[in-house]
Structure 1
Amino acid sequence: MDPSRPRCRLWRKMVLLASLLACGIHQAFGQMFISPDSLIGVKGFRTVLVLENATQDAQEYSWHRGAEDTVENMIVSYKPPFNSWLSGPMFSGRENVTRLGDLVIRRSAFSDTGNYTVRVDTGNETQRATGWLEIQELESKPEIWANTSSVVEDVDSVAAICYTNATNIRWYVDYTLVSSNDRMTISPDLQTLIIHRVTRRDRALYCEIDTIMEIPRRSEILSLTVAYGPDEVLLSTSPSIFKGVLSAKIGSQVDMACTAFSVPSPKYHWSHNGSLLSFSDASITLPSLAWEQMGRYRCIVDNPVTQLTMYREFQIQTPRNIPVVVNRGFYISGAKVVWLIVMIVLGSLYICGILIYGLISNLSISLTPWQHHRRCKDDHCQ
């Protein structure tokens, strides 16, 4: 660590405090002054010395190097009515004056540090202001380190450290600003980030700091390889599966494939009636289905890193419902034929029962000859 850095920061704070005090005094009396916020520049960047409370009817702005506004110290001047610029002995080719009277210094260097004086002429009066400009080195880019870059989702944790002398550190996970929560912890000095349960969305880590003039400086992006899955096994077959059953005729072609979301790419295995097959691809084709290939199939997917395994299974069998063709393209399935036969038999039995019942009823009502002779005898009929 540079031992002069704390002293440099202290000096910067003292300069800023003095400038703020001067700003307050100038504002109190309504005098022109150079904005204190613009009196700190960064090496290699553009610096703009901003005038405050300047008169609006200025006829000439002239900037000088040093505490005096002499001709020998003049950098550049600008006359608004005529839109003309004039360079002086201290002009380096990097300075310019805006239409509002601000001094612009391109590609600021350490040698630009020092006093600057501006003179504003209105024709009736002249205003002057002086300020000390300090050009500083931009804070070096922070460095990031992590204990690992390959993790398993919901299992492993990651600890990252941001190496910087700055104190205003911000952490980003997957390009989103984060803070301490149930899943992450940021140390009190903001230099350490711990992700307790890494997810597949935690793909990028970096830290960021604010330097002079709030210029952000970001570390390199640390990419994480997060292993996850398989989440779900999806089956696609031809013919299609219905309620776990794939119906196919003997001799027909059957295509089977399964996919899964997983990092790294998973391994595929197939089993038939409980026996592991030699296929290790995600898809299988049976060009001519045989009787011995009927039965239960299972697609097994496993991730060797996460050590998770999932599977899907289905049954291959011949079609059970054989259609019965009726004229003109109409057909009735075998199950419906059986149902119709049963209904016809039951209807026939029902009709026969009615006929038998009616016959018996008629016989019981009509009288036999013996019964008729008995009735006539009792009534004394001839």
Structure 2
Amino acid sequence: MDLSRPRCRHWRELVLLASLLACGTRQAYSQISIDPESLLGIKGFRTVLVLQNVTQDVQEYSWHRGANDTAENMIVSYKPPSDTWQSGPMFSGRENVTRTGSLVIRRSALNDTGNYTARVDFGNRTEKATGCLSIQELEKKPDISANASSVVEYMDPVAAICYTNATNVNWYVDYTRVSSNDRMTISPDLKTLIIHRVSRYDRTLQCETESIPEFPRRSEPLSLSVDYGPDKVQLRTSHIILNGILSAKIGSEVHMECNAISRPSPKYHWTHNGSLVSLSGAKIILPSLAWEQMGRYRCIVENPMTQLTMYREFQIQVHRSEHSHVVNRGFYISGAKVVWLIVITVLSSVYLCGILIYILISHFSTRRQRGT
């Protein structure tokens, strides 16, 4: 990995200053220089010590281990524009010089830490620059544990701990970075995450450390088994249910199926007119609908882990056309007979009213005659 590009300037400058003080050297006062940003490497990655302010009239680059540019300390040299490189006593087989004079160290090791001196021969003058390289080791992946791995949605809390010495810790729930909110709390030292109300979407927990900027280390995912439901109970039938009514013909085949979202898979029960249907499951088949099978059906869905129960119900009624046909077989009156029946009823009513009026008039006439 090329660490020569500017990254985390403030942090790198602090590390560089500490490295220079530890190595006991200083940058030479010359025109060429070693980019301070490149004086930090990571163990196992490629490190590039970048030369700055180098003109085009270079005749030879040479790199040396230590604060001096002696022949005994030489690592490798390069004479442009040829492809001639020459190794020195301090060459380990992992170093090389680029065509622009930068020193490349492959698979950087901790013992690569120390002073490096670059000497540039311009023909009429020689310039050199010294810098102190610091090779850092990445922290191993942090470990993570939780007080429970099997929980019930919206009922059980979970507390997870990140085992690390790093002070910069991030938390991820289902691979999404989280922070303290109404449902979660991260401790002040950032090493503990508490989920107060676990949801079905909290499937994995991870913590991430960043002891060296731009090189985060994330723990292995910790899986949670979250029990939830049942919810979204649905009914599927071979007939259309309208306003809670399933219309079917006597003798027809009726299929009924109940589905729900739940973890673990729920238990299904059916009742018919309040009585439990034996050997019932998610499906019920009535091969030939009979009169005694009419009535109200209820599908009950139960999750024994969450201790939640839901149900859906509907009513099976005889098909309307069949019901009309049965009524007609018992009593039938044609339209013409209905009209005659109405006429006769009206005339009979008029006749009875006339008789009643006649009787009343006759009664009052007789009382008057007796009174006189």
TM-score, scaled to structure 2: 0.78
Kept after mapping to 1: 8 A contact 2:30/2:128: no
CA distance in 2, matches of 1:142, 1:324: 76
For the pair 1:34 / 2:22, whether they are aligned, the reply is no
For the pair 1:86 / 2:86, whether they are aligned, the reply is yes
Kept after mapping to 2: 8 A contact 1:118/1:130: yes
Kept after mapping to 2: 8 A contact 1:42/1:212: no
CA distance in 2, matches of 1:218, 1:305: 32
Matches within 5 A, 1:145-184: 145-184=145-184
CA distance in 1, matches of 2:55, 2:154: 65
Kept after mapping to 1: 8 A contact 2:270/2:299: yes
User: Does the C-alpha gap of structure 1 residues 181 and 324 become closer, same or farther in structure 2, counting only changes over 3 Å?
Assistant: closer
CA distance in 1, matches of 2:192, 2:57: 55
CA distance in 1, matches of 2:317, 2:57: 97
CA deviations on 1:263-288 (whole Å, 9 max, x unpaired) are: 11111111111111123421111112
How far 1:20 moved relative to its partner? 8.3
Equivalent AA in structure 2 for residue 44 of structure 1: G
Residue matched to 2:222:
222
Kept after mapping to 1: 8 A contact 2:13/2:36: no
Kept after mapping to 2: 8 A contact 1:159/1:193: yes
CA distance in 1, matches of 2:184, 2:324: 67
User: Does the C-alpha gap of structure 1 residues 72 and 211 become closer, same or farther in structure 2, counting only changes over 3 Å?
Assistant: same
Kept after mapping to 2: 8 A contact 1:71/1:88: yes
How far 1:235 moved relative to its partner? 0.5
CA distance in 2, matches of 1:272, 1:39: 81
Equivalent AA in structure 2 for residue 111 of structure 1: N
Instruction: Name stretches of at least 5 consecutive residues in structure 1 with no aligned partner.
Output: 1-11, 326-333, 354-382
CA distance in 1, matches of 2:322, 2:272: 26
Matches within 5 A, 1:114-133: 114-133=114-133
> 3-state SS of the aligned residue for 1:292?
helix
CA deviations on 1:234-256 (whole Å, 9 max, x unpaired) are: 00000222221112222221111
CA distance in 1, matches of 2:87, 2:219: 41
Residue matched to 1:358:
none
Kept after mapping to 2: 8 A contact 1:20/1:36: no
Q: How many residues align?
A: 327
For the pair 1:263 / 2:248, whether they are aligned, the reply is no
Kept after mapping to 2: 8 A contact 1:232/1:310: no
CA distance in 1, matches of 2:324, 2:232: 41
Percent identity for Structure 1 against Structure 2: 70
CA distance in 1, matches of 2:80, 2:199: 61
User: Does the C-alpha gap of structure 1 residues 274 and 65 become closer, same or farther in structure 2, counting only changes over 3 Å?
Assistant: same
Residue matched to 2:60:
60
CA distance in 2, matches of 1:135, 1:316: 79
Instruction: Name stretches of at least 5 consecutive residues in structure 2 with no aligned partner.
Output: 1-11, 348-372
Matches within 5 A, 1:347-366: none
How far 1:204 moved relative to its partner? 0.9
User: Does the C-alpha gap of structure 1 residues 59 and 26 become closer, same or farther in structure 2, counting only changes over 3 Å?
Assistant: same
RMSD, matched Cα: 3.4
User: Does the C-alpha gap of structure 1 residues 317 and 48 become closer, same or farther in structure 2, counting only changes over 3 Å?
Assistant: same
> 3-state SS of the aligned residue for 2:67?
coil
Kept after mapping to 2: 8 A contact 1:147/1:160: yes
TM-score, scaled to structure 1: 0.76
How far 1:164 moved relative to its partner? 0.5
CA distance in 1, matches of 2:119, 2:127: 6
Kept after mapping to 2: 8 A contact 1:270/1:279: no
User: Does the C-alpha gap of structure 1 residues 278 and 127 become closer, same or farther in structure 2, counting only changes over 3 Å?
Assistant: farther
User: Does the C-alpha gap of structure 1 residues 322 and 284 become closer, same or farther in structure 2, counting only changes over 3 Å?
Assistant: closer
CA distance in 1, matches of 2:170, 2:125: 50
CA deviations on 1:74-133 (whole Å, 9 max, x unpaired) are: 222233422443322322221122333222211222332222111123334322111222
CA distance in 1, matches of 2:56, 2:217: 38
